[in-house]
Chains A and B, each alone.
Chain A
């Protein structure tokens, strides 16, 4: 029997459309509320406060250093991960799981784990203090370590994706022409995956900038040393909600600027 109606393929069934709008509302309405409740008139004064500027400088400084560390460690790790597709199942899955865990772990748990590793009584931390007299928690370095821990997987997966989709024949050609493994990696592979590396670095930076749980657990909270923007915003919420909202707006503005800057160039998800 022939069907009497043909649905246009571009139209969604109404329940799908309704639920989609609901999903969109969940994502957008909180941001709308944040912008609507913002103390716009007092914003210049709020953002010029010493405590805000200290948190801003600290947050950007640590997130930039964390991104640099992620690049240095993450690109090689991504290369290893991409190469691992030829490995036996068990080690391949273990490697992938090790990179994925920080991505799905609550950051506070990451902070506890870092404290148990690098704290004064930690696995490595106790030796560091005993032999070198170095303690890591409550330092700006600890903020960077916490940020690297949570943001490294973002970079690794972005670069790995780029590596997998890259055309390996160019590398082969370079190798046949006598290039060493390092030369192939440096002059052929890296330029080939540069867009993936850039996208990964940006994701990594924004994740590091927003890091809260691992930082407050592992690095603590001291103005100018470890109190980053998200922590300052959380604490301000207890006594001065206007300042908290101002700080939140600042973080929001940075995120939007990053998205606009990237647009369809590198992030496949934000085209259009």
Chain B
């Protein structure tokens, strides 16, 4: 009796584990599920439900959230799962085999590393962005311009040079002859923005588009010549995409007229 009971218990345990893991996968997928549409025989023209995974630069967070919602509204059978992060981290995760359909990078180098690895072809530039100096609401450090970033008595946050916003910051500072005295070099632009909105730093360099998204907690200060350092955002369907057709139509959507108007609304420049 006892000898036979054990395998059954184990089978139940394995089934439970599978149920939990699979259930977990399913519940990760947000958004509306496509409605079942009758029997397969009578609804042949209806496209198959498709879920695409999009890895996008942290600075695209608000814009891509909106784009994904609009895309799903226009393509009811499709679902878009978004993951945001530093472009370099995302490129690395793709190189390590993350199951991704679309990659949107904040600059050329991370996309190039993915293309060089043979994981994507023909990336398209779909938006541009420039930097802006930001301070917490009320400007406690009395910051007036880029030169203040060299002031060691002010708390300064910049992006680390390993991520696109950091590379752009370094270029802009070098171009303007400013030797910055940062107190922290963050791993993505949203982390920099958080430190500014919490008032933990007196000034930081972030993207123009982030100034809009952060609302009243921060103030932007226009930097003359900031427009000379431009980040070009690139998007591509990955060669290993599980849903290449839906992925391609998402990319066309982003690069098309509707995508353009959403990106405009969030302050991104035209390519």
Show the binding face of A for B, using Cβ within 8 Å: 5, 7, 13-16, 18-19, 115, 119-121, 135, 137-138, 216, 219-223, 225-227, 234-239, 241
Contact = CB atoms under 8 A, between A and B. Distances in A.
A138 B88 CA distance: 24
A238 B200 contact: no
Interface in B193-238: 195, 198-201
A217 B184 CA distance: 11
A94 B70 CA distance: 49
Contacts, number: 75
Interface in B156-202: 157, 160, 162-163, 182-187, 191, 195, 198-201
B269 interface: no
B7 A15 contact: yes
Contact of A135 (B10, B155, B186, B195): B155
Nearest to A136: B200
B230 to A, nearest CB: 21
27 contacts: A14-B7, A15-B6, A15-B10, A16-B10, A19-B13, A115-B200, A119-B198, A119-B199, A119-B200, A120-B200, A121-B198, A138-B184, A220-B184, A220-B195, A221-B160, A221-B184, A221-B187, A222-B182, A222-B184, A227-B185, A234-B187, A235-B162, A236-B162, A237-B89, A237-B92, A239-B88, A241-B92
A227 B162 CA distance: 14
B123 interface: no
Give the dominant DSSP class at A's interface: loop
A18, A19, A138, A227: most-surrounded residue (chain B CB, <10 A): A138
Contacts of A223: 185
Interface residues of B, number: 29
Nearest to B184: A220
Contacts of A238: 86, 88-89, 91-92, 162-163, 187
B3 interface: yes
B11 to A, nearest CB: 8
Nearest to B86: A238
A234 B188 CA distance: 12
A241 B86 CA distance: 15
B210 to A, nearest CB: 18
Contacts of B187: 216, 221, 234-235, 238
Contacts of A216: 187, 191
Given A120-B199, A138-B155, A221-B184, 15 more contacts: A15-B6, A15-B10, A18-B10, A115-B200, A138-B183, A138-B184, A216-B191, A220-B157, A220-B183, A221-B187, A222-B185, A227-B185, A235-B187, A237-B89, A238-B88
10 closest Cβ pairs, A-B complex: A220-B184, A15-B10, A238-B88, A138-B183, A239-B162, A13-B6, A238-B162, A121-B199, A138-B184, A238-B89
Nearest to A121: B199
